[in-house]
Amino acid sequence: MKQKIIVLLFAVFQSIQLSSQNQNNGIKLNQCLNFALAKNYQLKQAKYDNAISTAKTNEVRADILPQLNASARITNNISIPVVILPGELLGKPNTTIPVEFGSTYEVGGMLELSQVIFSPTLFMGIKIAKSAEELIALKTNLTEEELIYNVSVAFYDILYNEQQLLSIESNLNTQDSLYKKTAYKVEQDLTREIDLSRIGVNVANLEVQRKQLKTVIEQQIRYFNVLLGIPWDTPLILNNSCLYDINVPSELCSDSDSLSQRTELTIIQRKRDLGHLSIKSINSQYLPDISLVAAAGYLFQDEKFKLSNTNSWFDHSFIGLRISIPVFDGLRKQKQKQQAKFEICKIDEEIQFTRQLINTQLKNAKQSMLVNYESMKVQKSNLQLAEKIYKQSRLLFKEDLYNVTDLLYTEMIFHDAQVSYWSEIIKYKKAELDLLKAKGLLNTLLK
């Protein structure tokens, strides 16, 4: 059944991929995130840890149920044990008489039943196991959040390099066209051959950059596929519409921040609760354990191994209470409590540090987001101006009113402006991602 579900999920993902590619839209970030949460290898391991923790809790709970055990034995007493009895029993005072006790063959079977009536240590152990199970579940949630963050960062990195590649390919097409026109002018002795060489060097450099960038994108997509939990060589087309929908969400940058949604802080606080439960568990070890015990069985004894002899079978049974009372353990439990208290003090310091760290992350993320937003607007204006200058330079060059050196310089400025603009967009998106993480709202990206 599980394999069928996985196959179905993969088929759905492939259909989304093909549909998106046909529409030239690509796969959106939330689609990648939802699929990663279903298929990522590390997240699957975390979920198995969660299942193991649940099984361990049930294992502890099993000790509170009745325990029934059966046993059997067959003994051939090659040499029957001897017991020394005082001679007074047989009218021989001041002497001892060796007497064999037992028979050559003994066969026995017994059923033993025990039931816990009162065991503070066991009851506290169940609470600790349940709390540990909840802690593992929180760690699984943290793994999901880390996966959402890592997938999102990888998604933006790929989009950034793809935009870079588009810019380089556009410039390369322009330079190719310019090279051909300049080559024609050289043939007609209308321009210098050195101008053609300069353009050729620029074209060669753009070709190298394009190949290098394609390699980087291919490597990033392989890593991205691993994060998604799909075959590394699966072709992907990502939707870049998120790079054109830029605004500053006022609710993200508001001053009303709550730390209660941060999973990391919740995990540490749960560790603190476990520490207090550990102290209670140690204290419970001073109390007695009471169990009901009962047993019943049969014992065969005879000089001949003849089990059909009913006169050689004897039954026996008993019922009672077993009480275990701790008296003195060399102050072991006292030292254990000291260790647990020190652990709680250590966790308290970790809580304070984590609170300070989260507040710092919130402040830094808000600041980076606002600064990057303003920088992005400046770079957009610079890009528009650089594009305008570059287009005018090309027109002037066609009319022989602009030399190659100046044209290549304006082309370099235009390319740098493109790089800076897309760099600021990605920085803004990552700052937005950092703010969502600091607020504990990464799950909103799944919608």
**Within this chain, do residues 375 and 421 fall inside the same structural domain, yes or no?**
yes
In a domain, 2, yes or no: no
**Within this chain, do residues 162 and 255 fall inside the same structural domain, yes or no?**
yes
- Residue 426: how many CB atoms within 10 A of its CB? 19
Report which secondary-structure segment, H or E, holds 176. helix 120-187
In a domain, 58, yes or no: yes
**Within this chain, do residues 199 and 305 fall inside the same structural domain, yes or no?**
no
In a domain, 19, yes or no: no
Helix, strand, coil shares, percent, the chain, to 5: 65, 15, 20
- Quote the domain boundaries for residue 292: 66-117+288-325
In a domain, 105, yes or no: yes
pTM listed for this prediction: 0.80
**Within this chain, do residues 293 and 216 fall inside the same structural domain, yes or no?**
no
Mean per-residue pLDDT pooled into runs of 10, the chain (447 residues):
40 43 68 93 92 92 93 89 81 81 88 94 92 93 94 95 90 83 77 82 90 94 93 89 76 61 90 93 92 94 85 91 91 92 95 92 88 90 91 83 80 88 92 89 89
**Within this chain, do residues 270 and 307 fall inside the same structural domain, yes or no?**
no
What pLDDT is recorded for position 254? 61
**Within this chain, do residues 191 and 60 fall inside the same structural domain, yes or no?**
yes
**Within this chain, do residues 131 and 179 fall inside the same structural domain, yes or no?**
yes
**Within this chain, do residues 220 and 179 fall inside the same structural domain, yes or no?**
yes
Q: What is the CATH number of the domain that holds 106?
A: 2.20.200
What pLDDT is recorded for position 21? 39
In a domain, 42, yes or no: yes
**Within this chain, do residues 140 and 197 fall inside the same structural domain, yes or no?**
yes
Total domains present in the chain: 2
What pLDDT is recorded for position 218? 94
Last residue of a domain, one of 298, 325, 352: 325
- How many angstroms separate the Cα of 146 from the Cα of each of 33, 40, 227, 259? 11, 12, 11, 17
Q: What is the CATH number of the domain that holds 269?
A: 1.20.1600.10
In a domain, 383, yes or no: yes
**Within this chain, do residues 191 and 338 fall inside the same structural domain, yes or no?**
yes
Rounded Cα gap, residues 376 and 426, in angstroms: 10
Last residue of a domain, one of 274, 298, 325: 325
Q: What distance lies between CA 227 and its chain's CA centroid?
A: 11
Rg of the chain, C-alpha, whole Å: 40
Question: At 348, which amino acid appears?
Answer: D
- Residue 347: how many CB atoms within 10 A of its CB? 18
**Within this chain, do residues 33 and 54 fall inside the same structural domain, yes or no?**
yes
In a domain, 16, yes or no: no
Q: Which two tokens stand for residue 302?
A: 């005879």
Last residue of a domain, one of 325, 354, 379: 325
Report which secondary-structure segment, H or E, holds 100. strand 96-100
**Within this chain, do residues 274 and 394 fall inside the same structural domain, yes or no?**
yes
What pLDDT is recorded for position 4? 40
In this predicted model, what pLDDT tens digit does every residue of 136-163 receive, in sequence order? 999 999 999 999 999 999 999 999 999 9
Rounded Cα gap, residues 374 and 32, in angstroms: 29
Residue ranges of the alpha helices (H) in 253-331? 263-284
Report which secondary-structure segment, H or E, holds 302. strand 289-302
In a domain, 368, yes or no: yes
